């Protein structure tokens, strides 16, 4: 039984955060847009973006996982487009790095909470 609507897992920007919702799903909140995923799907996404950020920008990276993830780069607009199933998110390269760190930090927090056997505590870290 949950007694909260939304609990912050991590945050690295005034508008960017990851929350645990009362139904146990995770909300990646980027201000104007957000993604709501099951925890396993969130881990898949974190693994994908962690892998994808290590690949040169000109390549398009596609996963065969569920949820399916795609990352592409437009030289024309110098933006990265991340597709997660039906959702499209566009980032400038520096923003995408921050997004990856947000996901990684949330995953670390969730794993630490799993090992401790307690709900994830609120953690905040610098965007840089």
Q: Which is nearer to another protein, 116 or 122 (CB)?
A: 122
Pick from 89, 102, 103, 106: which binds another protein (CB under 8 A)?
89
Beta-bridge partner residues of 73: 80
Q: Which is nearer to another protein, 77 or 116 (CB)?
A: 77
End-to-end CA distance of the chain: 36
Residue 119 lies near another protein (rule: CB under 8 A): no
If we measure between CA atoms, which residue out of 32, 23, 13 comes closest to residue 103?
A: 13
Residue 70 lies near another protein (rule: CB under 8 A): no
Pick from 9, 12, 37, 44: which binds another protein (CB under 8 A)?
37
Whether 127 contacts 98, CB under 8 Å: yes
Pick from 90, 108, 113, 127: which binds another protein (CB under 8 A)?
90
Tell me the chain's radius of gyration from C-alpha atoms. 15
Pick from 9, 10, 12, 19: which binds another protein (CB under 8 A)?
19
| DSSP state letter for 122 | P
Residue 25 CB, shortest distance to another protein, in Å, is 9
If we measure between CA atoms, which residue out of 75, 83, 84 comes closest to residue 57?
A: 75
Residue 1 CB: number of other CB atoms within 10 A?
3
Binding region for another protein (CB under 8 A): 5-6, 11, 14-17, 19, 21-22, 27, 29, 31-37, 67, 83-91
């Amino acid at each position: 039984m949950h007694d909260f609507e939304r609990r912050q897992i991590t945050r690295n920007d005034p508008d960017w955060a990851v929350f645990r919702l009362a139904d146990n799903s995770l909300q990646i909140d980027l201000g104007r847009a957000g993604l709501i995923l099951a925890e396993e799907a969130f881990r898949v996404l974190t693994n994908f973006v962690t892998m994808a950020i290590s690949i040169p920008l000109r390549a398009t990276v596609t996963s065969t996982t569920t949820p399916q993830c795609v990352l592409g780069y437009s030289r024309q607009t110098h933006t990265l487009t991340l597709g997660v199933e039906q959702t499209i998110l566009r980032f400038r390269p520096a923003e995408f790095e921050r997004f990856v760190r947000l996901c990684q930090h949330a995953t670390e927090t969730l794993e630490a909470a799993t090992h401790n056997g307690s709900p994830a505590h609120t953690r905040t870290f610098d965007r840089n």
